[in-house]
Amino acid sequence: MFITLEGIEGSGKSTQIPAIAAHLEAMGHACVVTREPGGTEIGRRIRSVLLAPENTGMDATAELMLYGADRAQHVSEVIRPALDAGKIVICDRFCDSTVAYQGAARGIASGVIERLNEIVLGGLEPDLTFLLDLPAEAGLSRAWHQIASGDRHEKETRFEMEAITFHGKVRQGYLAIARRNKERIRVIAADAPRQEVTAAIIAQLDFIFFQNC
Ligand code: TMP
CA 85 to ligand 1 centroid distance, Å: 27
CA 158 to ligand 1 centroid distance, Å: 10
Q: How many angstroms separate the CA atoms of 45 and 20, rounded?
A: 27
Q: What is the pLDDT of residue 45?
A: 98
Residues 165-200: tens digit of each pLDDT: 999 999 999 999 999 999 999 999 999 999 999 999
pLDDT per residue rounded down to tens, the chain (213 residues): 999 999 999 999 999 999 999 999 999 999 999 999 999 999 999 999 999 999 999 999 999 999 999 999 999 999 999 999 999 999 999 999 999 999 999 999 999 999 999 999 999 999 999 999 999 999 999 999 999 998 888 889 999 999 999 999 999 999 999 999 999 999 999 999 999 999 999 999 999 988 877
Q: What is the pLDDT of residue 156?
A: 93
Q: What is the pLDDT of residue 154?
A: 83
* Closest by CA position to 67, among listed 107, 94, 104: 94
Domains identified in the chain and CATH numbers:
2-211 (3.40.50.300)
CA 104 to ligand 1 centroid distance, Å: 14
- Cβ(67) – ligand 1 distance below 6 Å: yes
Q: How many angstroms separate the CA atoms of 124 and 152, rounded?
A: 30
CA 1 to ligand 1 centroid distance, Å: 22
Q: Provide the residue count of the chain.
A: 213
- Cβ(160) – ligand 1 distance below 6 Å: no
* 98 CA: nearest ligand 1 atom: 18
Contacts of 196 (CB under 8 A, 6+ apart): none
Q: What is the pLDDT of residue 155?
A: 86
Calculate what percentage of the chain has a pLDDT beyond 90. Answer: 94
Q: How many angstroms separate the CA atoms of 128 and 5, rounded?
A: 9
Q: How many angstroms separate the CA atoms of 133 and 29, rounded?
A: 27
Q: pTM to 2 decimals?
A: 0.97
- Cβ(152) – ligand 1 distance below 6 Å: no
Residues 66-82: tens digit of each pLDDT: 999 999 999 999 999 99
Q: How many angstroms separate the CA atoms of 20 and 205, rounded?
A: 9
User: What percent of the residues of the chain are helix, what percent strand, and what percent coil, each to the nearest 5?
Assistant: 55, 15, 30
Q: Residue 135: what residue type?
A: P
